[in-house]
Amino acid sequence: MGVLSGIRVLEFEAIGPGPFAAMLLADMGADVLRIDRPEPPGDLGPRMEGRRVDVIGRGRRSVTLDLKTASGTAAALELVERADVLIEGLRPGAMERIGLGPDVALARNPKLVYGRMTGWGQTGPLAHSAGHDLNYVALSGVLSAIGPAGGKPVVPLNLVGDYGGGGMLLAMGVLAAALNVQRGGAGQVVDAAMIEGAAQLGAVFWGLQAAGHWREQRGSNFLDGGAPWYDTYRTADDQYMAVGAVESRFYAELLEMLGLAAAGLPAQHDRRGWPRLRAAFEATFETRSRDAWCAIFDGSDACVAPVLSFAEAPAHPQHRARGSFVEVDGVVQPGPAPRFSTTPSESPKPAPARGQGGTAALRDWGFDSRAIESLCALGLGTS
């Protein structure tokens, strides 16, 4: 059933980090019930309706409600009373305007963990401004360090803000608050801001900078592609190998396996020699295909790996041995993680259509037939 079996999560429809946090909780066994709008909204960006390919929407059940009506709000509050965790990702003040803000929700359910996911946070001069992942990562300081020397900052997909600095931060926050409730504490609001989550992901670099070991110039440091022994290299078949030989013993093995141990190259940490060292690596990697290099480095400690595509990664022997990827309704996707030794996560179920599974979820949440009829009379839709 999963390590979070018995935890009830009420999720309000959104995109990006909020649903990702709910997916993580659902993967670990939480009973996640999502309140969807009756019709697909046009302002939420690309969504995979029908939900088979909506990977981050997996593992929960759905009811539909029009939250712009008083009856819809009343029905939602009935669900709030039975939830352990609430997750919402609207702009600050939006939930308050429809009568579902933290004060109202916690008055109805004092043990509720009220999780709020925004880019800028609930307070501050930008709190009510629009934004997306890239904007939040830019203002956090982290984006300035991602990109090649002499080039512009590079978009790191939407991993640093939406998912690492957003969804994972929110999931950790609501779990911590839920643990506090189980220890006898009161319910509370968890204010998760992507701008702060992104900054936290970069914490080590503030430390390196303070110690004088990090330069502000992109592509000039040992973890940003500036060091030739921490970078990617093109192979003869126009593929890439990733090199991360940071420690001296791993670096020595890298040189040995590249056939460069006796080449009279500059020392590993001689910055003046990095251009020469990079040129030697580039020329060497271009002499063989990616598969040939994989065979050479297989089982070594040189810290070299192939750069695999999304399509290629699930077939790698490491992933296959661990079952890191699963197939859900014909769609290959990352499986639940991390692993739990005594309460393993089940294989996830595909994302629901609007209202799918809602009736069964309501029964599981303790609503009897008469109560379900009452909720439906307030506009709640289920199947």
Tell me how far apart the alpha carbons of residues 165 and 175 are, in angstroms, rounded to a whole number. 16
DSSP state of 202: T
Q: Which residues pair with 240 in a beta bridge?
A: 234
Query: Phi and psi dihedrals of 164, rounded to 5?
Result: -70, -50
- Residues with Cβ < 8 Å from 64, sequence gap 6 or more? 35, 36, 37, 38, 354, 355, 358, 380, 381, 382
Tell me how far apart the alpha carbons of residues 75 and 93 are, in angstroms, rounded to a whole number. 20
CB 75 within 8 A of CB 65: yes
* 204 token code pair: 């080590």
Tell me how far apart the alpha carbons of residues 65 and 303 are, in angstroms, rounded to a whole number. 52
* 362 token code pair: 């309501």
Known catalytic residues are 132, 162
Tell me how far apart the alpha carbons of residues 183 and 79 are, in angstroms, rounded to a whole number. 23
Distances (CA, A) of 348 to 101, 162, 168, 277: 31, 22, 18, 47
Using DSSP's 3-state secondary structure scheme, residue 193 falls into strand
List the one residue out of 221, 226, 225 whose CA is nearest residue 204.
Answer: 221
Query: Phi and psi dihedrals of 188, rounded to 5?
Result: -160, 175
What are the DSSP calls for 246-264, one per residue? Answer: -SHHHHHHHHHHHT-TTS-
